[in-house]
Structure formats: C-alpha cells, structure tokens
Amino acid sequence: MWLLLILVVIIVIYFLSKTRTESSELNSNPFIHTYPIIVSGINEYLFGGEAEFESKDAREHYLIKKSLGKISYVQFIYRKNTLYLKYYENLMEIKTDFSFYYSNTNEINQEQQHFIAKDFSNRVKNNSKINF
C-alpha cells in the first residue's frame, strides 16, 4: 500500500516537472514571435486582417473576430513539436467547427509557415457552412 502511494507521488512529481520545463521553454520564446507568418497569414486569409490576437497562456492563443451577429476564431495550441489549429464560427446559430494539426513545427522556416497558413485557411473554407 505504501509502495503504491510512493509510486503515485513520484509519477505526479515527474509529470509536474516536465510540464513546468515545457512551460518555461514556451514562455522564453512567445508564440507570436515564433510563428508570426502563420498568425498573420491566417488573419489575412480568413479574417481580412481584422482579427485580434490574444494569448490565454504560454500554450494557447487565439485570433478572434467579432462582428455584427458573427463570432469566429482560430485557436492555436502548441504541444511538444505539434501545432493544433481549430477554427470556430457562429453566425446566427449556423456553426462551423474544424480542427487540424501540423507535426514537426518546432523549427520551421518562413516558407513552411506560409504553407501552413494557406493550407489551414483552405481547409477551413472547404469545410465551412458559411461562404467566405
């Protein structure tokens, strides 16, 4: 019984230290500085450059556009060399929700960032219930 409790405590401490290490790495290099072309490209392609960038924490970021009767956003989540992107829009109860992820994104060049911005935007437009 005590052995099991000690094992659980060790596992919890291990995962907390890994999370703290990852968070400090993310805080040292802000998302907007790491992926500026992805953020600006998606903002331009999907929102006409009118969305606002917001950070919830070191891992989770948003491009949000609110207009008359419509809210839309792209959520960016970066976890261990993978960038998860989610698009959501709601126009008078017509909802679109689309997610996609890109692997091996910890060191990508400008051309790859352009590709991701364009690719994700095209995927969103192809899956949207609302015309762009």
76, 3, 45: which is closest to 11 by C-alpha? 3
pLDDT at 61: 94
Q: Give residue 40's domain range.
A: 31-127
Is 2 contained in some domain?
no
pLDDT at 130: 62
pLDDT at 119: 97
CA distance 85 to 98: 8
Is 91 contained in some domain?
yes
**Higher-confidence residue: 97 or 131?**
97
pLDDT digits over 69-120, tens only? 889 999 999 888 899 999 999 888 888 899 999 999 888 999 999 999 999 9
In sequence order, which ranges of 29-109 are alpha helices (DSSP H)?
31-34, 36-47
Is 66 contained in some domain?
yes
Is 25 contained in some domain?
no
**% of the chain surpassing 70 pLDDT:** 88
Is 17 contained in some domain?
no
Is 4 contained in some domain?
no
Is 69 contained in some domain?
yes
State the total domains in the chain.
Answer: 1
**CATH code for the domain in which residue 44 is found:** 3.30.160
Q: What is the mean pLDDT of residues 29-44?
A: 89
Is 56 contained in some domain?
yes
**Higher-confidence residue: 6 or 76?**
76
In sequence order, which ranges of the chain are alpha helices (DSSP H)?
2-28, 31-34, 36-47, 110-127
Prediction pTM value: 0.75
Question: Which of the residue ranges 7-21, 31-45, 63-77 would you say has the lowest mean pLDDT?
Answer: 7-21
